[in-house]
Copies of this chain bind each other. A is one copy, B any other.
Amino acid sequence: MQLDDGPWIHQMNWKAIRDYLSHSDIALVPVGATEQHGDHTPLMVDTGWAIAVAEGAARETNVLVTPPMHVGWSPHHLAYPGALTLRPETLTAMLVDVCESLIYHGFKKIVLVNGNRISNLPPMEIAAAKVRFSTGAYVSLIDVGLIARQEVSRICTVGENGHGGDSETSFMLHWKPELVDMTRAVKGHSGGSGPFATMPMPCEPPFDVNVLSVRPTAEEYGRASAPEGIGGDATLATAEKGKLVLEAIVRNTAIHINDIRGKTVSVRRPAIPI
């Protein structure tokens, strides 16, 4: 019999992790969400992004990955049954605790891999900054919607990549086809009201719009996304596009990991989180 040798830390034993730390110092932390993605894909799409990207990039670069975090900051998605959300300070605390645990063991560079696009970003950016300042470790934050938005915009149909739309459904058709039912895929609303984009970081063109930030309440989100809960056109999705999209995001994530591999950082070992 043989214990797993990675990249998932929870499938390894402690001696294998000890050995890894003798020559490397990078860990990935996948963070997803549990929230509806229409009638045709399951609530785990965002966690799926985080798992698939982290696992793919880790295999390409021979680094380790912590177990995935399945719940993010998704309060507006509670408009639909089943969605789970953490308070933002809980998500920040959870990531700080996990990062401090890793740094205590000798990890010095942590890449947070966010599968929930910009919804999770504020509490995750705060966590990353807290850990950087308190320990000196390098902590960066990859967002699956932003790290390869150029490539994704070329592969999928611009304007149809909203929540549960072309790119997300394509990804799921490639990664977990058994959890997709394309007979239920529809074209959702394409958002947009008022003179400015209200999500400050667009995942697809136009990238050059003037932006402000208005996070919708559950009531507003429910109304705006009714009746299915998605944005963009899910019927355009194919497994082939999903494969290309995932590869692009994994590739760019791997480029970042390789970019920081040789970086010298001076770490102050934190206390065990208690």
Contacts and interface: CB of A to CB of B under 8 A. Distances in A.
Interface of A: 1-4, 9-15, 17-18, 21, 34, 36-44, 47, 66-71, 75, 78, 80-90, 93-94, 97-98, 101-102, 104-106, 121-123, 125-126, 128-130, 132-134, 136, 138-143, 146-151, 177-184, 194-196, 198, 200-201, 205, 207-215, 217-218, 229, 252, 255-256, 259-260, 271-274
Copy number in the complex reads 6
Given A201-B201, A215-B129, A34 B84 contact: no
Nearest to A82: B17
Contacts of A207: 207-208
Given A10-B70, A43-B13, A256 B147 contact: no
A98 B81 contact: no
Contacts of A82: 9, 12, 14, 17-18, 105
Nearest to A118: B200
A17 B203 CA distance: 29
A141 B181 contact: no
Contacts of A93: 86-87, 89-90, 93
A217 to B, nearest CB: 5
Given A41-B13, A44-B67, A148 B212 contact: no
Given A134-B271, A200-B146, A210-B252, A85 B97 contact: yes
Contact of A140 (B102, B138, B179, B212): B212
Given A10-B47, A11-B179, A86-B93, 20 more contacts: A2-B178, A3-B40, A10-B34, A13-B42, A14-B83, A18-B81, A75-B272, A86-B94, A86-B98, A87-B274, A125-B215, A126-B126, A133-B272, A141-B213, A143-B200, A146-B211, A150-B208, A195-B256, A207-B207, A210-B252
Contacts of A84: 9, 66-67, 97-98, 101-102
Contacts of A133: 75, 217-218, 271-272, 274
